Structure 1
Amino acid sequence: MKPGRELAGPMTRRRFIRISGAAAGLSLAALGAGFARPGRAPPLYHEWRGVALGADASLRIYHPNAAEAGRMIADALAEVRRLERVFSLYDEASALSRLNREGELADPPQELVELLATSARYARATGGAFDPTVQPLWALYARHFRMKDADPNGPSPVDIAGAAAKCGYQRVIVDAGKVAFAQPGVALTLNGIAQGYITDRVAELLRARGVTQTLVDMGETRALDAHPAGRPWSIGIKDPRADDRLLATLALDNQAVSTSGGYGTEFDAAGRFNHIFDPATGLCAKRYLSVSVVAPTATCADALSTAFSVMPVERAVCALEELGATRAYFVLMDGSMIERGV
């Protein structure tokens, strides 16, 4: 599970994917008649780039009216900012920060209740491999490696066991009127799913406004319909060992993709300890270099790429089928890749 990176200071995680295509890298530029349908004006390409929930983010819209496209982008970013005030651990006033600080939250935002219920579903389906309560483990490792003379072998087994004892998605009590923790010391992070959820919310906002042929990336990537050129969107999975090399190129059409890898955020200079934890052991994930999942929604892809990082391949494939995802790509520690689909 990917916990909140905020306790160690603001960090923007490394990107695991590369978005390619004829329009990549352009901004507010007309694509030309090659993408126009007969009898219709050619669409315009509009792009925004920035940061959402500590991750690089971007929004690509194809729309014939530049002013309307600008309004849609502004509305989408307003929605992102609103949801960050629910899920962010940077913001001490966010709903999630208040819940972690106080141990309970009355009249929680509907989005928090919804995402916690969704998180519990993924936790059950993955046998607890996805667990939003691993924040105590993050806090432990972050504190340890901030110490001047930190043991390079990491926190002690006793300290790890103590932090792991505070984890467990069953320790979160959720209903429409209140969210509470069943014992002291529990803390939540939604960084293993919130980027996907926000990506989906932006995508649905745009779809409701009549936008198609759009690529949304608010930390995870979701394609609405096909590329304006009449082909799927091309998304490349980067080699964790060589940032300029692709291991695979995926074709997305009304699908989403998420990649998780420990190398995205590391606690120590040697790279032995990373931000993805196995809730069962309290140890950092070392099974794969990265895991990518293709699913109908970014929420699903985000949660499963996180969970699969600590699961054996064949066990992950069972969850893949149960939860409606379509493909998974496991990059092994030797750099080879296993692909599985349903």
Structure 2
Amino acid sequence: MMRSTRRRFIAIAAAAGGLPLLPFAAGWGAPSKNPLLRFWSGAALGADASMQIHHPDPAVADRLIAASLAEVGRLEKQLSLYRPDSAISRLNRDGVLDDPPFDLLRALAESLRYGEITGGAFDVTVQPLWNLYAAHFSQPNPSPNGPSQRELAAAVARIGQDALDVTESRISLTRPAMSVTLNGIGEGYVTDRVVELLRAGGVEHAMVNMGEIYALGARPAGGSWSVGLEDPRAPTKITEEVALQDRALATSAGYGTTFDPAGRFNHLFDPRSGHTSWRWLSVSVEAATATEADALSTAFSLMPEEATAPIVRKLGLTAHFIRPDGSRLTQRA
């Protein structure tokens, strides 16, 4: 299974001397210049992740990091498609899941809500399209034009959140060969749960990246955290800096995960047509939660600006769009 690389689109300026926070070597420790800052980096949901927290007691900070990692592990057992034994993997395999765990229910309920908000652009049931494109380009000498229209139509027939039945006691996929994915919202959801844990533990200053970013409080020295958005045409360069404080940021871009060597087909699936989207080079969303930023950056990648603007205003967002010609558009509430 291909791994999403969305976290590469964002660079974080750390509180300690403005040094880049990413990437780290795996593990945790305190930078020598500031013993109150604790760092961790590793993997979550099959991809790179990191935390930077500020706490007056390094031992307490390390316990909170350990608790956060345990929470990530617990959530992966429910939400990760990278684990064949996860609750979501069992749901996809069997088409039904009795006594579903709370966080899977909550994440799916959030997914359905953002599907409604975006008029169906966000759809948690698009996993058949991922399976189709991955299978097509994994076979010997695949057509460079991608799956056939017949294959796309068959996959689209398996999609639709109206066919996802979610109750507290049971989750059912009511169409044959349906499957769901939380790849468009799960990283944000996990990020939010870690932030909740740190906040409950007394942390007032932290930068959490479990695939999506949340800035908890201000930088320890004062002022907002600085986050740089990657230039899609020159991925090693920063095209814009964003100030975050008690806000989340997520970016979606087609070039982050492509299926074919030519890069024509990406992971941003239109649930209606089955095609992949290059409407925008990248979309970044600032929101109150990482869950919201994650889901809406995914959905906005498929939507025209006249459709995203009302959502931005209603939900109090800021959205940054980069067009195919490299020009930029920012929408604010």
TM-score for both structures, normalised by structure 2: 0.94
Other-structure match for 2:146? 154
Aligned to 2:24: none
Give aligned pairs, total. 324
In the alignment, the residues of structure 1 paired with residue 233 and residue 67 of structure 2 have an alpha-carbon distance, to the nearest angstrom, of 37
- CA drift of 1:321 comes to 2.6
RMSD (Å) for aligned C-alpha atoms? 1.4
Say which SS state the counterpart of residue 47 (structure 1) adopts: strand
Give the equivalent residue in structure 2 for 1:131.
123
Distance (Å, rounded) in 2 between the aligned partners of 1:97 and 1:178: 15
**Inter-partner Cα distance in structure 2 for 1:21 and 1:70:** 18
Percent of pairs with identical residues: 52
Q: Secondary structure at the match of 2:122?
A: coil
The CA deviation at 1:90 is 1.5
Residue 286 of structure 1: which of 278, 291, 310 is its match?
278
AA of the residue aligned to 2:169: G
Q: Deviations over 1:256-281 (max 9, x none)?
A: 00000011110011100001101121
1:20 matched to 2:9? The reply is no
Contact 1:12/1:54 (8 A) holds in 2: no
Q: Matches of 1:21 and 1:77 in 2, distance apart?
A: 21
Residue 338 of structure 1, aligned match among 311, 329, 332: 329
Change (3 A) 1:152 1:285: same
> Separation in 1 of the partners of 2:279 and 2:5?
23
Q: Matches of residues 1-342 of structure 1 in structure 2 within 5 Å?
A: 6=1, 8=2, 10=3, 12-13=5-6, 15-23=8-16, 24-25=19-20, 27-29=29-31, 31-32=33-34, 44-322=36-314, 324-342=315-333
Displacement of 1:325 in angstroms is 3.8
Q: Does the residue aligned with 1:29 lie in a helix, a strand or coil?
A: coil
- Decide whether aligned partners of structure 1 residues 191 and 218 sit closer, same or farther in structure 2, where only a CA change above 3 A counts: same
| One-letter amino acid of the counterpart of residue 311, structure 2 | A
| One-letter identity of the residue aligned with 2:232 | P
Is the CA contact 1:263–1:274 (under 8 Å) kept in the aligned structure 2? yes
Kept in 2: contact 1:293–1:325 (CA 8 A): no
Q: Match of 1:36?
A: none
Q: Deviations over 1:124-176 (max 9, x none)?
A: 01000000100000000001001111000000011101101111111100010
Show structure 2 runs of 5+ residues with no match.
Answer: 22-28
- Distance, in Å, in 2 between the alignment partners of 1:114 and 1:80 is 16
Check the 8 A contact 1:275/1:284 in 2, yes or no: yes
On the 8 A contact 2:7/2:212 being kept in 1, the answer is no
Distance in 2, matches of 1:220 and 1:14, equals 7
Once the two structures are TM-superposed, the CA of residue 64 in structure 1 deviates from its matched residue by 1.4
